[in-house]
Structure 1
Amino acid sequence: MLWAAILQRLGFNNRLQSATATHTNIRAKRTGRCGPNSLSYVSAGAQWQPKCYARASHCMFTETTPATKHPYCKGSSSTRHTAEKVSTQAAERQAVNGMSQATPQHIAFVGKEVNVMLGFRGELMRELAAKGHKVYAFAIDYDTSSELKIREMGFIPVKFSLNGYSANPLADLKTLWQLYRAYKKHRITLSYCYFAKPAIYGTLAAWLARVPQRIAKIEGLGKPFTVGPNGLTLKMRAVKKVQCWLFRMVLPRSTALIVLNEDDKQDLKEQCKVDMPNTVILGGIGVCLEQFQCSPVPLKPLTFVFVGRLLDEKGIRYFLGVAERVKAKHPDVLFKVVGGATAKQGVSLPELKRYVKQGIIDYVGHVENVVPYIESSSVFVLPSYYREGLPRSTQEALAIGRPVITTDGPGCKETVEDGINGYRVPRHDTNALENAVLKMLSHPDKLQSMGYASRAMAEQRFNVRDVNRRLLNVLNL
């Protein structure tokens, strides 16, 4: 079924039919007789009847009612294939343009973890459900409680399998097949696929299933584009080439591509050769300003907080190193770490406990609600060198009104106006990071004004309601 859909979408079925027709015409030319495929043809209400001439160079058709020419009459295979392709594209455009009038739409949100989907996409999903659309939540980690939670919110849970870090083509084909079947089963009319792998395989499955509107959202280019302190490894270079090829093959099959920053758009164009005129730079997924309310910056004691996944690429080791050096000079300053330990790709729990035992950090661990921990901190720090889209944790800190120290990397640099609401430092530069922390310690009187500037930035650029309004325009809903 999947292979049939692939062949049909790539036009191989049409080419096979064209080859069969060509063979029939040659036979007619030699014998003066019509082949079995030329007996009759009914299209758009017109019945075609064969009228053969022994000396004719091809089988002629006469029409009983006005209609277009029979597809097996004059015209090359390539011409017919091009016409069919243009016709398909026109039909898809017409379907997309008419979507806003059709109610309800069957909308598939395709991501990874349920909690991430609800935390980052929940506002948009609720707004669409309130408009009367059917919202399907595609995720990979459903259990009984999360399925119940999704249903209580008015969404329909759909589980599929996806290995975000695997390069196994068989596993990826399985993902493609599952998504294709689910789109067909639920009669999806709009797919909204975010993160790299879901955007690739979710969008390709939607194209194969002839979903009229296919939104691919790239929220950062991820690990293959992340340059570590020693550059890209050979393995990551190979993975990057494969990912670029997949981007180049799949993203043009979306009806709209959404990225969060200008650097991602440029790298997709220059490194992956993906140049799509319908690319939208969203500039952040936004936060709920009512949930993340502004509060005064606490100055006693001065507290620097790291919130996020404790991955090396997020800069957690740089944060720990600077905390150790600064604590030696300023023992009253606090450093707080909020996030789950990740032994395989970041900092392990035993390692964190050693820092806690030495009095260097307070380790909170993973929490569902980060608001109290950001509110009780003075400065938010994210020394990330990961290829971010635009970090959600930083947007939350901006909304609460906290000065920010972050890097000059894509996605991070968009959250700080240097010297206004915080400081930007070069990636991998721990000396610059330490100097930024010491600058904050030397001028605590500036932190409140920086906090107000952060809140103003959040209100102007990262209000989730404004972001969702722009998204609804892109979705034509």
Structure 2
Amino acid sequence: MTKSVFLLVASFPDSLIKFRGPLIEALLTAGCEVHVAVPGLDPDSDIAARLKMLSVQVHDIPLQRTGMNPVKDLSALFALRTLMRKIGADCVLGYTIKPVIYGSLAAWLAGVTNRFALITGLGYAFTGEATGLRRVLRTLIQQLYRFSLSRNRLVFFQNPDDEALFRALSLLKPAIPTYVVNGSGVDVAEYTVAGLPEKPSFLLIARLLGDKGVREYAQAAALVKERFPEVTFRLVGWIDDNPDAISQAELDAWISAGTIEFLGKLSDVRPAIVDSSVYVLPSYREGTPRTVLEAMAMGRAVITTDAPGCRETVVNGDNGYLVPVQDAPALAASMMKLIESPDRVAAMGSRSRQMAEDKYDVHKVNAVMLREMGLT
């Protein structure tokens, strides 16, 4: 029996193992010949070694993760079409904006029968005020989504709000089926429950973008420290190449003021979660935030926003608290509530772990995706 040739299209090498590693393994277990197309993967990196060990074939593509250079984007489109024809792809799945758009179009042009897309979040162009550059980007990306998604057999979403928005904006034709999965999932065997630290401490893991709520986190930390100066607020992440990025000067000011303890970019975030008692993500919008799932799996209470993607992870008052978007005082109030109730922190952390096992186990999520793609 001939193996199905499955091509996964990505824009960021680091995501292949961290976010899609279990999916790749599930595809291999299902008998697929798996290829990945990604720009800029270092052949000497741990990621490349891991993919090679799995017998996954890696293809470099000229895709820029950010920016809207039409010449370069067209080059990526036709490179993908050529690759799909060369390997005889039977199934193509793209995730994040450019792989979804150009992967879908290339698969259509290459005559690939089974074309899928995974919407993992809406990004800079869909969040915040639609003015200036953001308005131009939003209009362009919506047009590209509308054209490319109509070529797919199935589109996966990670929360119902994103699916509803795409339908409301007519970015999806009524005939195109969709399916909402529970995020990217988390390996509950890898992210295990850890005891709580003696002193209350908060943690945010994110690219340092305004839309991730990093500024609100710093503002809330300053408010809390007025009453509880001993409480620690840690931040893990990096300044991204993005119009919405936090400036180095802002970050330096928070650090010098003693508001934030900055840990930089970590290849393994588990030690940082172990050292925290509460995980915080004040994001304006997500697909389903992977960092929240990791913290939940490790038994942490969560404070996040009542925003698409985020609100799915927290039952307010059960495993954490939901706060309004861009509301630092409300965020600080929830933080102080948990500082004053350590027993509640422990109980909420236990509920988070249970929810991670029941709803967000990566193997359950991937089993659903393979079933819906007709691979099992």
TM range (shorter): over 0.9
Query: What is the alpha-carbon root mean square deviation over aligned residues?
Result: 1.6
- The answer to whether the 8 Å contact 2:117/2:156 transfers is yes
- The aligned residue for residue 314 of structure 1 is 212
Query: CA 1:368–1:276 in 2, change beyond 3 Å: closer, same or farther?
Result: farther
Map 1:327-476 onto structure 2 (within 5 A): 327-342=225-240, 345-385=244-284, 387-476=285-374
Structure 2: runs of 5 or more not aligned: none
- The aligned residue for residue 103 of structure 1 is 2
Query: CA 1:166–1:357 in 2, change beyond 3 Å: closer, same or farther?
Result: closer
Q: Please, what TM-score do these two structures have when normalized by structure 1? A: 0.75
Structure 1: runs of 5 or more not aligned: 1-101
Identity rate, percent? 35
- The answer to whether the 8 Å contact 1:401/1:453 transfers is yes
Of the candidates 173, 196, 200, which is equivalent to residue 302 of structure 1? 200
Of the candidates 177, 188, 198, which is equivalent to residue 78 of structure 2? 177
- The answer to whether the 8 Å contact 1:309/1:341 transfers is yes
Q: Which amino acid aligns with 1:159?
A: D
Cα distance in 2 for partners of 1:286, 1:190 equals 22
Cα distance in 1 for partners of 2:135, 2:122 equals 13
Larger radius of gyration between Structure 1 and Structure 2:
1
Secondary structure at 1:293's aligned position in 2?
coil
Cα distance in 1 for partners of 2:87, 2:28 equals 16
Of the candidates 42, 52, 57, which is equivalent to residue 151 of structure 1? 52
Query: CA 1:123–1:433 in 2, change beyond 3 Å: closer, same or farther?
Result: same
- The answer to whether the 8 Å contact 1:244/1:272 transfers is no
The structural deviation recorded for 1:397 is 0.7
Q: Which amino acid aligns with 1:328?
A: E
Query: CA 1:357–1:118 in 2, change beyond 3 Å: closer, same or farther?
Result: same
The structural deviation recorded for 1:187 is 0.9
Deviation by residue 1:95-123 (Cα, 9 ceiling, x = unmatched): xxxxxxx5311111101112211110101
- Does residue 163 of structure 1 match 2:61? no
- The answer to whether the 8 Å contact 2:63/2:72 transfers is yes
Q: Please, what TM-score do these two structures have when normalized by structure 2? A: 0.94
- The answer to whether the 8 Å contact 1:306/1:381 transfers is yes
Secondary structure at 2:19's aligned position in 1?
helix
Of the candidates 84, 92, 95, which is equivalent to residue 194 of structure 1? 95
Cα distance in 1 for partners of 2:73, 2:371 equals 32
- Greater length-normalized contact order (CA 8 Å, ≥ 6 residues apart): 2
- The answer to whether the 8 Å contact 1:247/1:272 transfers is no
Q: Which amino acid aligns with 1:423?
A: Y
Cα distance in 1 for partners of 2:9, 2:69 equals 20
Query: CA 1:308–1:288 in 2, change beyond 3 Å: closer, same or farther?
Result: same
The structural deviation recorded for 1:150 is 2.3
Cα distance in 1 for partners of 2:29, 2:237 equals 33
- Does residue 117 of structure 1 match 2:117? no
Secondary structure at 2:303's aligned position in 1?
strand
- Does residue 133 of structure 1 match 2:28? no
Moved over 4 A (4+): none
The structural deviation recorded for 1:164 is 3.0
Moved more, 337-346 or 186-195: 337-346
Secondary structure at 1:138's aligned position in 2?
strand
The structural deviation recorded for 1:376 is 1.4
- The answer to whether the 8 Å contact 1:342/1:348 transfers is no
- The aligned residue for residue 23 of structure 1 is none
Cα distance in 2 for partners of 1:273, 1:177 equals 23
The structural deviation recorded for 1:464 is 0.5
Of the candidates 154, 170, 187, which is equivalent to residue 272 of structure 1? 170
Deviation by residue 1:232-268 (Cα, 9 ceiling, x = unmatched): 2132222222222222211121111101111111111
The structural deviation recorded for 1:273 is 4.2
Cα distance in 1 for partners of 2:171, 2:148 equals 12
- The answer to whether the 8 Å contact 2:27/2:34 transfers is yes
- The answer to whether the 8 Å contact 1:263/1:410 transfers is yes
The structural deviation recorded for 1:450 is 0.4
Q: Which amino acid aligns with 1:166?
A: G
Query: CA 1:376–1:470 in 2, change beyond 3 Å: closer, same or farther?
Result: same
Cα distance in 2 for partners of 1:222, 1:355 equals 25
Cα distance in 2 for partners of 1:130, 1:343 equals 36
Q: Which amino acid aligns with 2:214?
A: I
Q: Which amino acid aligns with 1:234?
A: G
- The answer to whether the 8 Å contact 1:260/1:390 transfers is yes
Cα distance in 1 for partners of 2:328, 2:218 equals 10
The structural deviation recorded for 1:220 is 1.3
Number of aligned residues: 371
Q: Which amino acid aligns with 1:120?
A: F
Of the candidates 215, 219, 222, which is equivalent to residue 324 of structure 1? 222
Cα distance in 2 for partners of 1:137, 1:343 equals 24
Q: Which amino acid aligns with 2:275?
A: S
Q: Which amino acid aligns with 2:354?
A: A
Q: Which amino acid aligns with 2:281?
A: L
Secondary structure at 1:235's aligned position in 2?
helix
- The aligned residue for residue 84 of structure 1 is none
Secondary structure at 1:253's aligned position in 2?
coil
